[in-house]
Structure 1
Amino acid sequence: MKKRRIILSAFIVGLSSLLYMDFYVKNFKFSFAAVIFPLILYMYEEYNPIKFGILSGFSLVLFRSIFYNIFYGQFIETFIYSIPENIFYIVYGLSFYLFKKSSYLITHNKMFIIAALSDTLSNIVEIYIRVGKNIFTFDFQIIRILFLVGIIRAGLLWLMILGYKYYKLILVKEEHDRRYKNLIKLTSRLKTEIYWMEKNMIHIEKVMANAYELFSNIREDKNREDWSNVALEIAKDIHEIKKEYELVVMGIEDIMESRLDNTGMYYSELLDILKESLERDIIKQNKEIKIRYEMERDFYTEKHYYLMSILRNIITNAIDAIEDKGNINVCHLVKNSHHQFIVKDDGCGISGEDLPHIFLPGYSTKIDYSTGQVNRGLGLTIIENLLKVHFKGQIQVESEIGKGSTFKIFIPEKELEGIRE
């Protein structure tokens, strides 16, 4: 799917190269493709700029040659003089790759600078191939024109990115409004089920009191004649609680099936939501933590609720493991038909003694000894269960006291993306 999309994108660059202006240097043209090329790289961050540059250059030569062959019958001639323009996109892709590597986040305004410099450099290389050292005339007239063209095309790119961002914001707002309405309906029905759960808490406390009283009487051998009646009363109360909880579970399952938005989501959208919620958590805890996100490629999944729960809670654990300042890396890779999610922190780490037990039910190292409260979040045992049941996936952990922890999650592509074999 990714290969088809990148090839289609390269074809779009090739087609847009048919919109051009001639320059006084023989066979040199300024085409609209030099605006579309960086725009696509901005829209699809997962594209490798160098590979995309090679594909785009080949596409340009192909479409230009076909066009000239249809109208002028000059396929071979056009193919030959278009080859240096192929070099333009390879140099542009390499330049963009170097900028991207040195600056993790490429903003709207940074894109203008990158495009202007890459465009100018690529044009200089192309003209040098065509005319040689004559490009470096005493007054540098050609270079000044190339720089001006780079600025103009970068300006067009800036405006197109601005339009793209506003269009995306409108779509996101519409989607958020729709999801928010569904969330309100969902919450209103869940409130009813929570009421029954709170009501049952009173019954549970009563059962606990009766059970403890029975235990005390048996231990002290008191009121022997009441033991059987009390035990029967406890059993009846537990049966009633069980029935009511069955109704609650049925009600929640019905709500989840009928009200929950089961449409899918792209991983990039999930990351945007995740970033926002985690930033709030970090500010709330008054910590200085930088989270770096890396994504090999975007993908669509209908199991985004489960994936969000897994990632959010593992990253939350990483935030809790950092005392004041630190770093967390959230990396996504695709290898051997598996999605890999790697969450690495430089927090306090987990001792070798505790490591074998972290996936056991109820286990936690995060205890507030002043209150006795255990802060377990979702719990690694539940995360492991979610992975096995819903994704047929696995989780691994490496950790060292004082150096931090690394959690690795492996999920088959077909399970996460719903790919049929």
Structure 2
Amino acid sequence: MNRNTILKILIIVCVTAFLGELKITPFNSSFRIALGSAGFFFLLLYYKDVPYLLTGFVTGVLTTLFRTGLDSFYFNDFSFIGSFLTHSPIIGYYLVFATILQFTKRKCGSISPLMLGFFGVLSDGIANIAELLLHSAINGVPFMFSNIGYVFIVAVFRSFFVIGLYNSIESNKLKAIYVEQRKKFEEIQTILSELYIEGFYLEKTLTDIETITRKAHDLYQELKKLEMPVELTRSALLIAQEVHEVKKDNQRIKAGLEKLIAEGHIVKPVSLKEIVNVSLKANKKYSKSLGKNIEIEASVDVDLKVQSIYPLLIILNNLITNAIEAIDETGFIQVTVRMLDSNIIIEVLDNGPGIDPDEQDVIFEPGFTTKFTETGKPSTGIGLSHVKLMVEKLDGSIQLQSSPVQTAFTITLPIKNL
């Protein structure tokens, strides 16, 4: 038995012994109805890995010694043996209680709260009867069959109180676990959406590298036909070989990215509302990190589950992020998702300063930007180019409407491609 198990048993003993003093004595004897058994039942449920029989026996013995010790302070004519025998029937109570629960645990495994409450009542009631019988045998207290009904009534209230408390705590634990897992899920999906776009560009780069390799090899063949100097033809061949090695390295990187994305990918389709919520939560945090007071809301009037999670996250994240950065201090961003015929329409509207008419034709070009750092360094200008690439990948279209007081991007995506 390890130290952790011993500590749990000691906790059960201490709590049970203390709560056992919150009692009533209904039968004019040393028999008591107390909260100790409720605490014992609750802690056995909470500490599922403790040995029930050993715990019941130890709890009974130490509780008896605890009560005997208390008697030594309260009674002048204290007798250790007499006091110990008076309280010793409680050993039978906890041992019988633990035995029934142990049997239930082995035979039933995971059971419903209602059935667990029933077995709790059974354990408590039978254990109390066993304690009364031991009282009768050891202390000469007459056993009254009329008391059995009272014992089981108390057992019902006590057991279902424990089950209610236990289920409430377990429910809160599950909620906390769900919230934490949900947070990790959202963070992972955001990261994977970034990896997805990197993989997309890497695939495009591989095509370019293949073209360069072919051109370098063609140059080598042409120089060889023209009987150019050996050093020159070898240089052309070497360039083709080195570019080919770069291609193989990029292929390995791409394969690693695809494996990582596949491992973190959601197998089941996800609702559009859930995808929008993931994006909104991440961007609300981003807005706060910039010290801006921006109200970000969404209206999703589509009950549709899709597989194209990452392209949609890339589209939403970039459009909302751009809107946040465009707004000076305070403002609002409204995301609307609706269905029109066989298409999904996504609109991201903000009340930022708008986009200059002269720039509207080039905002989707890679490298174009109107954003600069405090040191005057321009941003990468690839956010909207990401959006355009993803929209085109899904055979969709994107439109811009902008005025000095608001900007709206409207994206049309065929449902069949989602």
Normalised to the residue count of structure 2, the TM-score between the two structures is: 0.48
Larger radius of gyration: 2
